[in-house]
Structure 1
Amino acid sequence: MQSFKFSERSVKNLQGVHPDLVAICQKALDLTLIDFGITEGLRTLEKQKEMVRTGKSQTMKSRHLTGHAIDVFAYPTPAGSWDFADYELISNAFKQAAKSLGHSIEWGGDWKTLKDGPHFQLTWSEYPA
């Protein structure tokens, strides 16, 4: 199995993210078949308002606002990929990592509406706020 390491940018983007989600991200990076980077973690209220205004988000109750969500970008090649299949493989690593650490996560790719392959968040039931 390949060994991947977070870039400085990914490490910076994990600042302010809940420690359990950071641990899941680190474990998922050890388990993944496809390299990934963290593109966003904690989001300001101003940024969330802009995301909603531009249609990139549909809620002002985003888990990014509390550090309970992250977005990733897949790197099956150095150029990266938006191919949903790549995010499915990454999600398998996240789900396995969360389970092994005794936590639960949601993957945006499993949502019934607005499938969001790059998005992972701690569950509301285990992490209400």
Structure 2
Amino acid sequence: MGVAASVAAMLASAPVGVWAQGSETAGASAAPAAPGAPAASTPKEVRKANRALSRKVYAALAKHKEIEAGSISIVARDGAVTLNGTVTDASQIDTVAAIAKTVPGVKSVTNRLSVQRPIGE
């Protein structure tokens, strides 16, 4: 019984993104962790939570009028946020990452932003 409890504890603390891969093994392993464990989400719930977090980051960026959030794509996976796209000024690269880090639910930020070059240069 002690081994089963240890395995269940390890599964409960495993990253949800691993379960979202859809493999049969991961789906079967997720069942023991379900009782009372918030990490035992279905792949559909995980995708919904990831989209909601992306929208929260977009909303936070939209509050800063100097940043063109439409030129930035945001991908969220289990609290890990990746920023892709362009900004108009080099100083905005760090600013966007800092804003993203302040959003509740964001655990880490990977910043892949670059400065947009003006047309003709």
Structure richer in helix, relative to its length: 2
Q: TM-score, normalised by structure 2?
A: 0.28
Q: TM-score, normalised by structure 1?
A: 0.27
